[in-house]
Amino acid sequence: METLKLKPLKAVKGEVTLPGSKSLSNRILLLAALAEGQTKVTNLLDSDDVRHMLNGLKALGVNYQLSDDRTVCVVDGLGGLFQVTEPLTLFLGNAGTAVRPLVAALCASQGEFTITGEPRMYERPIGDLIDSMRQLGAEVEYLQDDKMPPLKIHGRQLAGGQVSIKGNISSQYLTALLMVAPLLSGDLTINVIGELVSKPYIDITLDVMEKFGVQVKNNDYQSFEISGGQKYQSPAEAMVEGDASSASYFLAAAAIGGGPVRVHGIGKASVQGDVAFADVLVQMGAQVEFSDYWVEVTGSGTLTGIDVDLNHIPDAAMTIATAALFADGPTAIRNVYNWRVKETDRLAAMATELRKVGAIVDEGEDYIHITPPAEVQSAAIDTYDDHRMAMCFSLASFGAGEITINDPGCTSKTFPTYFEVLDSIRVDD
Ligand SMILES: O=C(O)C1=C[C@@H](OP(=O)(O)O)[C@@H](O)[C@H](O)C1
Ligand SMILES: C=C(OP(=O)(O)O)C(=O)O
**DSSP one-letter string for 106-139:** HHTSBEEEEEE--GGGGGS--HHHHHHHHHTT-E
Domain boundary assignment for the chain: 3-19+241-427, 22-209+217-223
Catalytic residue among 315, 382, 386, 407: 315
The predicted pLDDT at position 141 comes to 98
The fold of the 22-209+217-223 domain, in CATH, is: UDP-n-acetylglucosamine1-carboxyvinyl-transferase; Chain (3.65.10)
In this structure, which residue's CA is closest to atom 6 in ligand 2?
Answer: 96
CA–CA distance, 412 with 49 (Å, rounded to integer): 8
Q: Could you give the residue ranges of the DSSP H alpha helices within 19-162?
A: 22-34, 48-59, 96-107, 127-135
Q: How confident is the model at residue 389 (pLDDT cuts 50, 70, 90)?
A: very high
Whose atoms come closest to the Cα of 95: which ligand?
A: 2
Same fold for the domain at 3-19+241-427 and the one at 22-209+217-223?
yes
Spacing, Cα 186 to ligand 2 middle (Å):
31
pLDDT in tens, 107-136: 999 999 999 999 999 999 999 999 999 999
Q: How confident is the model at residue 160 (pLDDT cuts 50, 70, 90)?
A: very high
Closest CA to 393 of 413, 365, 418, 364: 418
Q: How confident is the model at residue 341 (pLDDT cuts 50, 70, 90)?
A: very high
Spacing, Cα 374 to ligand 2 middle (Å):
32
Q: Is the pLDDT of residue 201 over 90?
A: yes
Spacing, Cα 287 to ligand 1 middle (Å):
27
Q: Please answer whether residues 326 and 398 qualify as being in contact, where contact means their C-beta atoms are separated by less than 8 angstroms.
A: yes
User: Following DSSP, what letter does each residue of 230-270 receive, concatenated?
Assistant: ---B--SEEEPPB-HHHHHHHHHHHHHHEEEEEEES--TT-
pLDDT in tens, 35-50: 999 999 999 999 999 9
This model of the complex carries an ipTM of 0.99
pLDDT in tens, 298-324: 999 999 999 999 999 999 999 999 999
pLDDT in tens, 161-196: 999 999 999 999 999 999 999 999 999 999 999 999
Is the CB of 178 inside a 6 Å radius of any atom of ligand 1?
Answer: no
The predicted pLDDT at position 264 comes to 98
Element containing residue 352 per DSSP (H, E): helix 346-356
The predicted pLDDT at position 118 comes to 98
Indicate the class that CATH gives domain 3-19+241-427: alpha beta
CA–CA distance, 101 with 287 (Å, rounded to integer): 37
Q: How confident is the model at residue 428 (pLDDT cuts 50, 70, 90)?
A: confident
Is 386 catalytic? The answer is: no
Residue 342 labeled ligand binder: yes
Instruction: Please give the average per-residue pLDDT across 404-428, as a whole number.
Output: 97
The predicted pLDDT at position 426 comes to 97
Q: Is the pLDDT of residue 429 over 80?
A: no
Q: Does the reported pTM lie above 0.80? A: yes
Give the chain's mean pLDDT: 98
Closest ligand 2 atom, residue 386 Cα = 10
Report the percentage of the chain scoring pLDDT > 70. Answer: 100
Residue 172 labeled ligand binder: yes
